[in-house]
Amino acid sequence: MLKTFIKNIFSPTTSTPNWSPAKQHVVRNEKSKLELETIGYTVPLRLNPEKLNQLKVLYNQTHNFNLKDGGMFYSVYSEDISYRKNIHDSINQILSEVYNELFENYKIIINSFIVKVNGSESEFSLHQDSTGLDEIKYSPLSVWIPLQDTTIENGCLAVVPKSMRLFSPYRGISFREPFSKIQDEVKHYLQPIELKAGDVLLFDNRLVHYSPPNFSNDVRAVVMSGVFPKEAQFISCYKDENDKSDDIEIFEQADDYLLTFTNFFHNCTCRPETGTFAGKVYWPIKEMNKETFIQLAKTNDIPRVSHPILTQKFKSNIVPEPVQA
């Protein structure tokens, strides 16, 4: 249980807890597993045309955007719970056979669409995904499948390879990431992952990642799924910005948390009102300076790429609902 884990693993006298990413539990293919554990991502297969077309039909039937300057849409932002569940269940029907081929002893926490409506305000800012399971025991995993070819021009995913091991196993929307004040430097280490339509990208969502605006003439849509070991408890992390201690609160959540929680777009940094409070962990998360990050990158053989598009500053217009007039 998580409460026992909190009690036994963490000591209030430890200023820098020892931690390294756990092995990937659910991935069947050993080559894919090795790539995930070394660089943080892998592309094991491409969907067949029939399944890709089914996803495109589903997307076109449920989304309609009309935005002059573009924007970013993510299914979990919608307050329409029936829409979220319909998307989740429909994607599950289409991809369950593929996921059974890729994974074992797993569960899908969320299936969703992430959409970049073409225009200059469709950046997805530099970040790591929030913690969703006990990362002392397990490693998180996301699936990312573009419905069209993705390139730098239309906003492909870009990652800092190997960065899943650089920071903390506790991340949440309510507290800053260690690199929050040096993002301009971190972006020099981003590497674009350009994919063909239907490519199935698996990535460790602790990777620092980003996507530039979609400057093409068409919408860029991808399917994103969250994959957990079957036995893993869903958790969320919270820290009050006024709390000067190094404690982080842990809440156990239901498996359908991402399908039913209604405050992702509003008040998402507040202390959780759902789930069960499981206790606190002592985990110092200090702001990292540029020199420390550069040294970490060198130690882990992460090259400084300095891609001209990925190092620029853009805007992000977050779109709350899948249909606009």
Q: Which amino acid is at 299?
A: T
Helix, coil or strand: residue 173: coil
Going by C-alpha positions, the residue among 294, 305, 281, 310 that lies closest to residue 168 is 281
Pairing of strands 41-46, 247-253: unpaired
What is the C-alpha end-to-end distance of the chain, expressed in Å?
Answer: 48
Q: pTM for the full model? A: 0.93
**73-111 residues labelled b (16+ CB within 10 A) or e (exposed):** bbbbbbeeeebbeebbebbeebbeebbeebbeebebbbb
| Domains in the chain, CATH or no CATH each | 2-319 (2.60.120.620)
Instruction: Tell me how far apart the alpha carbons of residues 47 and 88 are, in angstroms, rounded to a whole number.
Output: 18
Q: Return the residue matching tokens 């992952």.
A: 193
Reading the chain (325 residues) residue by residue, the pLDDT tens digits are 454 444 434 433 223 467 888 889 999 999 999 999 999 999 999 999 999 999 999 999 999 998 888 999 999 989 999 999 999 999 999 999 999 999 999 999 999 999 999 999 999 999 999 999 999 999 999 999 999 999 999 999 999 999 999 999 999 999 889 999 999 999 999 999 999 999 999 999 999 999 999 999 999 999 999 999 999 999 999 998 888 899 999 999 999 999 999 877 677 788 999 999 999 999 998 899 999 999 999 999 999 999 999 999 999 999 989 986 5
Tell which residue, 82, 92, 63, has the closest CA to residue 224.
92
Q: Which of 109, 107, 318, 309 lies closest to 211, judged by CA?
A: 309
Burial of 229 (0-12, 13-18, 19+ CB in 10 A): buried
CB-based contacts of 161, cutoff 8 Å, min separation 6:
39, 40, 41, 191, 207, 302
